């Protein structure tokens, strides 16, 4: 595909725009490819995801592991003054056990915290002495979380990535200013970039790097014990440059938070808006925003914090399933946190509840009735075939995410898609997935069921059936909290599209 980079430099110089914008100029490309008209494909509705954003979205449900100095101090935010020997695991931490547990929980990957705000590094880094090798504890001296985590993930066929806190309350360099009151680039160059580079060496196949947005407070800062802040994280960490360097080393990494390739969903309770665009900000996004910025929901599976704390308990499988429906089922990804304990292991209770969650996901959402033999599907309108491609309704039930149904240009409402099962069954969920390579389009739909094909009942209670996006799961009883009841008996399911930004596309329609 032919692409022309628009070098904004000349333009920017003319209007005197600051250097940060210049550094980002390579990001702006115009797609000048001539569409292959012989395939009659719908034109994209911008913005659209990058290839790496699309792959990232397909990860859907993954774990967060907060482990480190705080595990041994009972804190959530250490101030950076902690002695290295305070990090004293009672056994060599075992990331493989963490990952086996979350795999059983139905997750496709995980992100390990390797440095939190206290600056203590869980690997033998060259960038600071504040790391595992300086602890007097022999288990600590053998700890290398990124190495062991990456290896275990690769062995188990899981995606993986790391959380490296940009804010570092231990480092003397963080937030330091020169004699003229300007921030120095010592921290970015000597510490943070180097730490990110060290991380990339643990595997080129990482899927996400997590940079939280904290911009400073009181800290140890090399023994100065003072309050420091930064004014602009993007500039301070030279994010455009850092992002390019990381992408060069690990092409599939999505920079979360500071770095801007996926957004915070706006709360830590594990829910996205019922309306949720992959553009814009917050719980619902914004239909008119210019940038593809899909939502990630970060939530805790335990009761006391991100890190392990004495006496905490783990959410039940049923509670986690509700969170799943309200995030993955609403066009967001879900990163659910499980904190390893002082032995560097996930506690038994967490492992048990994860196993139950995995079984629940398989029972409830594991067998797509629309993909069983004898199912028929019809759309009231379908785009004309291309030379080799079709846009048939059947593409929604063929189990192939690369084929899709599409409406003709200009048809954006009044469309019905009807699925006929071989016989009436108890059903509880309908899931839809747009072909988001061409942009997120649908903005209104309804779901009805019928036993005779004549009398229809609207389903989903008062749930707002607005956006679809990467994935939308509607519990037919309208209740995400107790979605798995006796179900509704239906032979026919009808999805009506009532509004769309352009002709709608769907690659999958599932019934569970």
Indicate the residue among 102 and 417 with the shorter CB distance to ligand FUL.
Answer: 102
Least distance to ligand FUL from the beta carbon of 228, Å?
16
**Is cis: bond before 215, omega within 30 of 0?**
no
382: phi then psi, degrees, rounded to nearest 5: -145, 140
Which of residues 192 and 306 has its CB atom nearest to ligand FUL in the complex?
306
Element (H, E) at 325: helix 317-327
| Contact between residue 507 and residue 402 where contact means Cβ atoms under 8 Å apart | yes
Residue at token pair 């288990």: 139
- Contact at 8 Å (CB) between 188 and 233? no
Q: Which residues bind ligand FUL (CB under 6 A)?
A: 76, 212, 214, 298, 306
Least distance from ligand FUL to the Cβ atom of residue 265, Å? 12
CB of 246 to ligand FUL, least distance (A): 19
Q: Minimum CB separation from ligand FUL for residue 337, in Å? A: 7
- Closest to ligand FUL by CB, 163 or 405: 163
| CB nearer to ligand FUL: pick between 214 and 289 | 214
What is the dihedral sign for C-alpha 264, 266, 268, 270?
negative
In the complex, what is the shortest distance from the CB of residue 214 to ligand FUL, in angstroms, rounded to a whole number? 5
As a whole number of angstroms, the distance between CA 301 and CA 323 comes to: 10
Q: Which is nearer to ligand FUL, 281 or 359 (CB)?
A: 281
- Report the nearest approach of ligand FUL to the CB of residue 434 (Å): 29
Q: Shortest CA distance to 470 belongs to which of 62, 108, 107, 58?
A: 58
Q: State in angstroms the smallest separation of the CB of 210 from ligand FUL.
A: 8
CA neighbor of 333 nearest in space, from 58, 30, 146? 58
Q: Which is nearer to ligand FUL, 272 or 397 (CB)?
A: 272
CB of 342 to ligand FUL, least distance (A): 18
The SS3 call for residue 73 is helix
Coil, helix or strand at residue 198: helix
Strand 254-257 vs strand 208-211: parallel, antiparallel, or unpaired? parallel
State the Rg of the chain over Cα: 25
Q: In the complex, which residue's CB is closest to ligand FUL?
A: 212
Given its phi and psi angles, is residue 203 left (phi above 0), alpha (psi -120 to 50 degrees) or beta?
left
| Alpha carbon distances (Å) from 32 to 2, 3, 29 | 6, 6, 9
Alpha-helical segments (H) within 201-257: 233-236, 239-249
Between 340 and 439, CB nearer to ligand FUL: 340
CA distances from 316 to 64, 176, 266, 358, 433 (A): 17, 45, 23, 12, 28
Between 214 and 424, CB nearer to ligand FUL: 214
Nearer to ligand FUL, 281 or 287 (CB): 281
CA–CA distance, 415 with 431 (Å, rounded to integer): 17
Kindly state the smallest distance separating residue 308's Cβ from ligand FUL, in Å.
13
Please identify, using beta-carbon distances, which residue of 212 and 350 lies nearer to ligand FUL: 212
To ligand FUL, the closest distance from the beta carbon of 127 in angstroms equals 20
């Amino acid at each position: 595909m032919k692409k022309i980079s628009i070098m904004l430099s000349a333009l920017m110089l003319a209007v005197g725009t600051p250097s940060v914008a210049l550094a980002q100029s390579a990001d702006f490309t115009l797609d000048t490819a001539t569409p292959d008209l012989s395939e009659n494909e719908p034109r994209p509705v911008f913005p659209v995801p990058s290839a790496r954003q699309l792959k990232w979205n397909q990860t859907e449900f993954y774990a967060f592991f907060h482990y480190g100095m705080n595990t041994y101090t009972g804190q959530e935010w250490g101030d950076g003054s902690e002695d290295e020997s305070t990090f004293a695991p009672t056994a060599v931490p075992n990331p493989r056990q963490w990952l086996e547990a979350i795999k059983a929980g139905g997750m496709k990957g995980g992100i390990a915290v390797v440095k939190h705000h206290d600056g203590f590094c869980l690997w033998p880094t060259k960038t600071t002495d504040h790391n595992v090798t300086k602890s007097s504890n022999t288990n600590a001296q053998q700890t290398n979380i990124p190495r062991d985590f990456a290896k275990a993930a690769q062995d188990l066929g899981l995606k993986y990535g790391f959380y490296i806190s940009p804010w570092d309350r231990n480092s003397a360099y963080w937030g330091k200013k020169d004699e003229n009151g300007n921030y120095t680039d010592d921290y970015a160059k000597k510490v943070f970039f180097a730490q990110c580079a060290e991380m990339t060496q643990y595997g080129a196949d990482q899927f996400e790097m997590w940079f939280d947005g904290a911009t400073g407070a009181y800290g140890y800062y090399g023994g100065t014990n003072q309050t420091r802040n930064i004014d602009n994280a993007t500039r301070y960490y030279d994010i455009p440059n850092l992002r390019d360097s990381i992408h060069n080393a690990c092409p599939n990494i999505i920079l979360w938070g500071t770095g801007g390739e996926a957004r915070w969903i706006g709360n830590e309770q594990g829910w996205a808006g019922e309306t949720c665009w992959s553009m814009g900000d917050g719980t619902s996004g914004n239909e008119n925003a210019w940038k593809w910025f899909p939502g990630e929901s970060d939530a805790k599976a335990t009761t006391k914090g991100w890190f392990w704390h004495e006496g905490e308990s783990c959410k039940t499988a049923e509670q986690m399933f509700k969170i799943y429906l309200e995030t993955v089922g609403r066009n967001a990804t879900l990163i659910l946190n499980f904190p390893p304990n002082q032995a560097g292991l996930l506690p038994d209770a967490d492992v048990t509840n994860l196993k139950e969650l995995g079984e629940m996901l398989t029972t409830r959402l594991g067998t797509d009735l629309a993909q069983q033999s004898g199912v028929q599907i019809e759309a009231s309108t379908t785009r004309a075939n291309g030379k080799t491609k079709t846009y048939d309704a059947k593409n929604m039930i063929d189990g192939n995410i690369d084929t899709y149904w599409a409406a003709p240009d200009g048809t954006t409402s009044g469309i019905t898609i009807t699925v006929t099962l071989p016989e009436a069954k108890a059903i509880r969920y309908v899931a839809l997935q747009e072909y988001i390579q061409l942009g997120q389009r649908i903005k209104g739909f309804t779901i009805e069921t019928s036993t005779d094909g004549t009398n229809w009942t609207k389903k989903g209670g008062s749930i707002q059936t607005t956006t679809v996006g990467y994935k939308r799961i509607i519990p037919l009883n309208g209740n995400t909290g107790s979605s798995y009841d006796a179900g509704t008996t239906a032979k026919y399911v009808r999805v009506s599209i009532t509004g769309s930004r352009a002709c709608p596309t769907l690659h999958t329609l599932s019934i569970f």
